[in-house]
Amino acid sequence: MTAPMTFADLERMPDSNRRCELRHGDLVELAPPKQEHLLIQRGLRRVLEKAAGGAGEVEIEVGFRPTPEHEYWKADVAFVSSERWLAIPRRGNLQGAPDLAIEVLSPSNTASEILDKEQICLENGAREFWVVDPIRRQVKVSGADGYAATYKPGSPSRCRLEDRLAGPCRLIRYSSEA
């Protein structure tokens, strides 16, 4: 049995154009995102930047280390508070999960993978974890405080999500119509 890969092992690998994550010590190569995925990421980023104001940074494909040794992930979209963002070393990565981690579902995602990411992020710094499902046109929001809800365009709960952070449901509607 091979020992799990560490983040230090990952850093020693030759640079390449590969997109990869380190999950529980296994190197996982990621497929390049499709246009719909990119449109959703970009739309979420725009809405969240406006909602965040100067409270922090919103970025796409944010590399972070939810746990120290055997994990290195990329959030499709992330919000990181200004204090935490400024603490990231110039040549380093965010330690712990982003304050808000968002995963946009792709055909390559498994339910187990998403549940695992949600749990680990919420246990390691994320205040919220969102799963955006472009096929079902919904956003599942989970909070570190135990809050959980699924929002769909036109549902009564839609307004609460829009109050939370400026309405990602309309972005799903936009991306599905494109």
> Can you give the pTM of this predicted structure?
0.85
Would residue 91 count as lying in a domain?
yes
Q: What is the pLDDT of residues 103-124, one digit of tens each?
A: 999 988 999 999 999 999 999 9
Q: 171 by DSSP, 3-state: which?
A: helix
* pLDDT (0 to 100) of residue 16: 66
For residue 12, being part of any structural domain is answered with no
Q: Is residue 163 in some structural domain?
A: yes
Residue 13 lies in a domain: no
More reliable by pLDDT, 1 or 20: 20
**Torsional class of 25: left (φ above 0), alpha (ψ -120 to 50), beta (otherwise):** left
Domain count, the chain: 1
CA dist., res. 160 & res. 156, Å (int)? 8
The CATH number of the domain holding residue 125 is: 3.90.1570.10
Question: How is residue 24 written in tokens?
Answer: 């529980």
18: in domain:
no
User: Domain containing 136: what range?
Assistant: 34-177
Per-residue pLDDT, averaged over 91-97, amounts to: 94
Whether residue 41 lies inside any domain: the answer is yes
DSSP codes joined into one string, 4-56:
PPPHHHHHHSPP-S--EEEETTEEEEPPPPPHHHHHHHHHHHHHHHHHHTTSE
- Any domain includes 49: yes
* pLDDT tens-digit map of 12-48: 888 766 788 999 999 999 888 899 999 999 999 998 8
Q: Is residue 6 part of a domain?
A: no
- Say if CB 98 and CB 78 are below 8 A apart: yes
Q: Are 5 and 27 in contact (CB under 8 A)?
A: yes
Q: What percent of the chain has pLDDT over 90?
A: 61
% helix / strand / coil in the chain, to the nearest 5? 35, 30, 40
HSE (CB half, 13 Å, CA atoms) of 89? 5
